[in-house]
Amino acid sequence: MSQVVGNTALAYARVWHHVDASDRILGKLAERIALVLMGKHKPIYDPSVDCGDYVIVTHSRKVKVTGRKEEQLLFRKHSMFPGGLKETPYKAMKIKNPDEIIRHAVSGMLPKNKLRERRLERLKIFPAHRMGILGANVMRSWDDGTLPPDHNVSIPTTSETLRKLKEQRETASV
Enumerate the domain spans of the chain: 16-154
- In the predicted model, what is the mean pLDDT of residues 90-109? 95
Q: What is the pLDDT of residue 4?
A: 56
Q: What is the pTM of this model?
A: 0.76
Mode of pairing for the β-strands spanning 123-125 and 54-58: parallel
At residue 159, the pLDDT reads: 63
Q: Report pLDDT for 130.
A: 81
Please state, in angstroms and as integers, the Cα–Cα distance from residue 148 to each residue in 5, 27, 127, 133, 152, following that order: 33, 27, 25, 22, 9
Task: Look at residue 64 in the predicted model and tell me its pLDDT.
Answer: 94
Decide which of 70 and 137 is more confident: 70
What type of residue sits at position 91?
Answer: K
Q: Which of 3-7, 68-72, 130-134, 152-156 has the lowest mean pLDDT?
A: 3-7
* Residue with more model confidence, 4 or 84: 84
Sheet strand arrangement including 16-20: 123-125, 54-58, 16-20, 138-141
With beta carbons less than 8 A apart as the criterion, state whether 166 and 45 touch: no
Does the pLDDT at position 143 exceed 60? no
The answer to whether residue 5 scores a pLDDT higher than 80 is no
CB of 84 closer than 8 Å to CB of 107 = no
Please tell me the distance from the alpha carbon of residue 125 to that of residue 146, in angstroms, as a whole number: 21
Contact, 106 vs 33, CB < 8 A?
yes
Q: Is 168 exposed, middle or buried (0-12, 13-18, 19+ CB in 10 A)?
A: exposed
d(CA 69, CA 71): 5
CB 119 within 8 A of CB 54: no
In the three-class reduction of DSSP (H, G, I as helix; E, B as strand; rest coil), residue 88 is classed as strand
Place 131 in a pLDDT band, splitting at 50, 70 and 90: confident
Top-tier CATH class for 16-154: alpha beta
Q: Strands, E, within the chain: which ranges?
A: 16-20, 54-58, 74-78, 85-89, 123-125, 138-141
